[in-house]
Structure formats: C-alpha cells, structure tokens
C-alpha cells in the first residue's frame, strides 16, 4: 500500500476571548495581543486562498461576535468552523448543567450564523471534558473532538466510564461515537510562541526550531508509519507574525514535496475514519 498522509492545519482563533475569559484580564496590552489575531487571520486566509488549502478553524462565539467580518471570510473561503467555547470556557464541575448547555448552544448558534451549519468538530478550551460534557456533544451531533492525543497520528474513539485507579490497573471504559483527532502540544504553536513576561520559565522559540520539530514529526510519520493524520494547531495571534508565517509557508512546501500527502478539513478525516472503522 502507498503512503497516505492527511495534513490538517487547524487554528484556534481565540482573539480576545482567551485573555478576557480564562485570564480574566482587562489590561489593554493583553487585549491588544488578542486583537492581533484579526490581523493574523486575514494573513492566513490570504495564504490558503493562494495555495488552495482547506483548513479547520475552532472559533469561540466571542470572536465571532467581536470580529464577524473576518469570521465570515474564513467560512466563505470554504474552511471548516468548529466549536471552541463562547469566551474560551473549559467545562467545569462548578457550573451546573444548565449553564454548560447555555455556553454550548450559544456558541453553536454563533457558528451557524456565519457558516450556515452547526459545527461537526469540538476543541476544548482547556480542562477535562467529563461524562456530562461528552454526552452533550453527542446529543448535539458532534462528529469529532480534538482536545487530546492517545495516538499521535491516528484517530480513535472517545471513551466514557474509565476508572482511574492507583491500587490496580487502569480500567478502560466503553467507546462512544465521537472520533478523537489528535491534539498535542508538540504540534501546537502556543508553547513555543506565546510569551508571558511574568509567566516564569517561558521564552520565545525561533521559528527555525519549531520548523525542525514539526518537520521531523511529519518526517517520522511519512517515512516510518506511512499512513496517518498530522494535525497542526496554531493561533492566528501567534503564527500570524511575519517570521512565523514564512516558517509556515516553508513547512507547507516541505509537506508538498512528499508523495501521498493531502490537505483536508478535520471533519472529512473523521468521516473517513468512521466509514472505515465504524464503532
């Protein structure tokens, strides 16, 4: 069998939501970093228009309500739009089911408003999905989640009912009809490119370092494993800077030099996986 690698370029278009929501800040310099996400998003849509590459965008409702024009542009350029909270909320045991449902449904409505359809994909803005949240996703017809990576380059099914034990082996629960597409920090731009002055250890990484890591992950998949899905997660406010955009273009060139590589939306990957390996 020949090589079959699907590359999914995905974007968490957090914009201001990640600063206003989980960070709870009103500080103009931090809000401004979120604002830059709009600039980054414009650059990215231009790039993918020119290269004819379909991509997947997880967009909080807050971003859609704040920047409807660029979000419409993303959707009308044919990119997939997935769920990423209203204001970047993680599911929480301190919120009741009614409040969680409000966040989910309000965000779905925002996505329907700009794209004309409900989201098939879900990426958790941090935290642990939990049984209640996963059941709500199933109830709302989500096809896949991309918030964890039990396999680095392979889709799997979400499980419910795991029992985490320390006095014996882990007890695995039963799979449910929600595909997991890998999300892993190694293939995410945030840990490399998001600098927080008072955040301690972190320092900015060179785009060349990040190119080396991302290209080597791809190389291993292509050479050793030969089939799989390669999901890259980026944030317009991080990747949208000039030096990083040039790195991303170089990386796309590198992918395209290989045989058996296609670019796809994540929902198409989930559909193919489900058709080949139904639950």
- Residues engaged in binding Zn ion (CB under 5 A): 12, 14, 125
* Min CB(136)–Zn ion separation in Å: 19
* Min CB(58)–Zn ion separation in Å: 7
- Residue closer to Zn ion by CB (options 10, 218) is 10
The enclosing H or E element of 33 equals helix 28-51
- Residue closer to Zn ion by CB (options 12, 38) is 12
- Residue closer to Zn ion by CB (options 65, 154) is 65
* Min CB(14)–Zn ion separation in Å: 4
- Give per-residue burial for 153-189: e unless 16+ CB within 10 Å, then b: bebbbbeeeeeeeeeeeeeeeeebebbbbbbbeebbb
Task: Report residue 74 CA to chain centroid gap.
Answer: 15
Rounded distance, CA 69 to CA 47, Å? Answer: 17
How many CB atoms neighbour CB 251 within 10 A? 19
* Min CB(278)–Zn ion separation in Å: 31
Decide if 81 contacts 70 (C-beta within 8 A).
Answer: no
- Residue closer to Zn ion by CB (options 133, 157) is 133
Rounded distance, CA 60 to CA 166, Å? Answer: 37
* Min CB(173)–Zn ion separation in Å: 27
Q: Reduced to 3 states, what is the DSSP secondary structure of residue 56? A: strand
- Residue closer to Zn ion by CB (options 12, 89) is 12
Rounded distance, CA 249 to CA 115, Å? Answer: 27
Q: Between β-strands 156-160 and 174-180, what pairing exists: parallel, antiparallel or unpaired?
A: antiparallel
Which of 263, 120, 123, 261 is closest to 190 using CA atoms? 123
Total count of residues recorded for the chain:
279
- Residue closer to Zn ion by CB (options 126, 161) is 126
- Residue closer to Zn ion by CB (options 60, 228) is 60
* Min CB(85)–Zn ion separation in Å: 8
* Min CB(54)–Zn ion separation in Å: 21
């Amino acid at each position: 069998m020949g090589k079959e690698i699907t590359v999914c370029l995905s974007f968490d278009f957090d914009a201001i939501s990640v600063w206003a929501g989980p960070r709870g800040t009103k500080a103009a310099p931090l809000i401004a970093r979120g604002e830059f996400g709009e600039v980054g998003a414009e650059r990215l849509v231009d790039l993918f228009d020119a290269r004819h590459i379909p991509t997947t965008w997880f967009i909080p409702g807050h971003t859609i309500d704040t920047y409807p024009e660029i979000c419409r542009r993303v959707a009308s350029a044919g990119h997939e739009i997935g769920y990423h909270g209203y204001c970047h909320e993680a599911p929480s045991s301190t919120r009741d089911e009614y409040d969680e449902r409000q966040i989910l449904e309000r965000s779905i409505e925002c996505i329907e408003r700009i794209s004309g359809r409900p989201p098939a994909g879900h990426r958790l803005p941090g935290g642990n999905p939990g049984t209640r949240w996963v059941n709500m996703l199933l109830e709302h017809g989500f096809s896949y989640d991309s918030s964890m990576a039990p396999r680095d380059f392979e889709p799997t099914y979400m499980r419910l009912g795991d029992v985490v034990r320390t006095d014996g082996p882990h007890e695995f629960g039963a799979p449910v009809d929600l595909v997991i597409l890998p999300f892993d920090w190694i293939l995410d731009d945030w840990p490399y490119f998001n600098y927080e002055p008072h955040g301690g250890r972190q320092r900015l990484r060179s785009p060349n370092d990040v190119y080396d890591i991302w290209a080597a992950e791809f190389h291993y998949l292509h050479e050793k494993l030969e089939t799989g899905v390669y999901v890259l997660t980026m944030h317009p406010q991080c990747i949208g800077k000039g030096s990083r955009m040039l790195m991303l273009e170089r990386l796309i060139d590198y992918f395209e030099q290989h045989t058996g590589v296609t670019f796809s939306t994540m929902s198409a990957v989930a559909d193919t996986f489900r058709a080949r390996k139904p639950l």
